[in-house]
């Protein structure tokens, strides 16, 4: 079954419960009004619409494209469109080349700039989290094991029984179904998780039944060949800052046409940027160390 998320911007009140739930389910530090980065997979932006001057809240997250350009650009197959609908990535495979960042038409994947071994991160539609179950085996130390007997690792964290229970709670909705943490947390049902065809039908129903409340467009139905995150709005998507000039055909083919002309430049730039990062940090470490020594010496003198 292919899943999707429906974001109805007409219902969103900008409370940020979705961003907080996303941080909690991944054990990321909680930040108010975060920007999209390697530790925040979704954001809420306040947009003032030009004509009316009204304010709108716009959620940003990975669109889980039906034919993801990020996956087709990845040299090592770290990104995968699953049958579940989620586009997931394998942190063990990712080499941090950033081809996916270049390829994504929605500017979603972000780089772990603060890591010495940086990878690319993005929303996974809570794929691993939704598949954790209370009956999974534990090892003697209390860590959850997968079907092959390996410890389950999510966002670099080995999952304990306690973590598992928290994650299950955060990804179980009122109907007792597993869902993305952001949709479970949304108090307005502005973010809803479900089966893709049913959510698309629901989006069409809302527009047909209340034509005065919506613009007649489901953003994500056709863009880049269709995505698994749909948006509804009562003002034009253009006025809310959505990319509205995207083609309806999928992007993987175009991605390769662009990337095949520049791989050496990108790889070289990636390595160079990594080196600059390392040197910069090393310099800062040395500077800090020197200052500590100086301070200790002056204290001794005193």
From 48-56, 119-127, 263-271, 288-296, give the range in contact with ligand SF4 by CB under 6 A: 119-127
Q: Does 14 bind ligand SF4 (CB under 6 A)?
A: yes
> 13 with 190: CB under 8 angstroms?
yes
Query: Could you count the other beta carbons within 10 Å of the beta carbon of residue 14?
Result: 16
Q: Does 22 bind ligand SF4 (CB under 6 A)?
A: yes
Q: How far is the CB of 12 from ligand SF4 (least distance, A)?
A: 3
Site for ligand SF4 in 148-187 (CB under 6 A): 180-182, 185-186
Q: How far is the CB of 187 from ligand SF4 (least distance, A)?
A: 6
Among 62, 94, 144, 159, binds ligand SF4 (CB under 6 A): 62
Q: Does 17 bind ligand SF4 (CB under 6 A)?
A: yes
Q: Which is nearer to ligand SF4, 14 or 96 (CB)?
A: 14
Among 36, 87, 167, 235, binds ligand SF4 (CB under 6 A): 87
Among 6, 70, 97, 154, binds ligand SF4 (CB under 6 A): 70
Q: Does 235 bind ligand SF4 (CB under 6 A)?
A: no
Among 4, 61, 152, 240, binds ligand SF4 (CB under 6 A): 61
Tell me which residue of 206, 241, 249, 288 sits closest to 50, measured CA to CA: 241
Q: How close are the terminal C-alpha atoms of the chain, in Å?
A: 72
Residue with tokens 């998320």: 5
Among 74, 94, 108, 203, binds ligand SF4 (CB under 6 A): 108
Q: Does 230 bind ligand SF4 (CB under 6 A)?
A: no
Number of residues that bind ligand SF4 (CB under 6 A): 41
Q: Which is nearer to ligand SF4, 24 or 239 (CB)?
A: 24
* Binding mask of the shown chain, residues 188 to 227, with x at each position contacting ligand SF4 by CB under 6 A: x-xx------------------------------------
Tell me which residue of 18, 15, 13, 10 sits closest to 179, measured CA to CA: 18
> 34 with 43: CB under 8 angstroms?
yes
CA distances from 66 to 69, 71, 91, 144 (A): 9, 11, 21, 31
Task: Give the span between the Cα atoms of 145 and 163, in whole angstroms.
Answer: 13
Q: Does 57 bind ligand SF4 (CB under 6 A)?
A: yes
Q: Does 120 bind ligand SF4 (CB under 6 A)?
A: no
Among 65, 159, 218, 235, binds ligand SF4 (CB under 6 A): 65
Per CB under 6 A, residues contacting ligand SF4 are 12-18, 21-22, 25, 41-42, 44, 57, 59, 61-65, 68-70, 87, 104, 106, 108-109, 122-126, 180-182, 185-186, 188, 190-191
């Amino acid at each position: 079954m292919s899943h999707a998320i429906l974001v109805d911007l007409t219902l969103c009140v900008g409370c940020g419960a979705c961003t907080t739930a996303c941080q909690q389910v991944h054990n990321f530090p909680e930040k108010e009004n975060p920007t999209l980065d390697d530790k925040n997979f979704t954001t809420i932006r306040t947009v003032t619409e030009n004509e009316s001057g009204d304010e709108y809240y716009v959620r940003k997250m990975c669109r889980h494209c039906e034919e993801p350009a990020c996956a087709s650009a990845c040299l090592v197959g770290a990104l995968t469109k699953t049958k579940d609908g989620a586009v997931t990535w394998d942190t063990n495979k990712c080499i941090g080349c950033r081809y996916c960042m270049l390829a994504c038409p929605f500017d979603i994947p972000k780089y772990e700039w603060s890591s010495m071994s940086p990878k690319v991160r993005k929303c996974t539609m809570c794929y691993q989290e939704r598949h954790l179950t209370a009956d999974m085996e534990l090892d003697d130390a209390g860590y959850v094991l997968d079907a092959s007997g390996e410890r389950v690792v999510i966002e670099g964290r080995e999952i304990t029984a306690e973590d598992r229970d928290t994650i299950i709670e955060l990804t179980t909705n009122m109907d007792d179904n597993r869902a993305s943490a952001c949709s479970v947390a949304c108090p307005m049902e502005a973010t809803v998780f479900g089966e893709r065809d049913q959510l698309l039908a629901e989006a069409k129903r809302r527009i047909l039944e209340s034509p005065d409340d919506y613009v007649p467009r489901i953003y994500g139905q056709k863009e880049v060949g269709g995505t698994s995150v749909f948006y509804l709005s009562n003002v034009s998507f253009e006025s809310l800052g959505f990319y509205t000039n995207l083609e309806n055909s999928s992007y993987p083919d175009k991605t390769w046409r662009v990337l095949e002309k520049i791989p050496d430049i990108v790889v070289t730039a990636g390595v160079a940027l990594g080196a600059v990062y390392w040197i910069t940090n090393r310099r800062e470490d040395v500077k800090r160390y020197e200052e500590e020594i100086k301070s200790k010496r002056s204290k001794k003198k005193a």
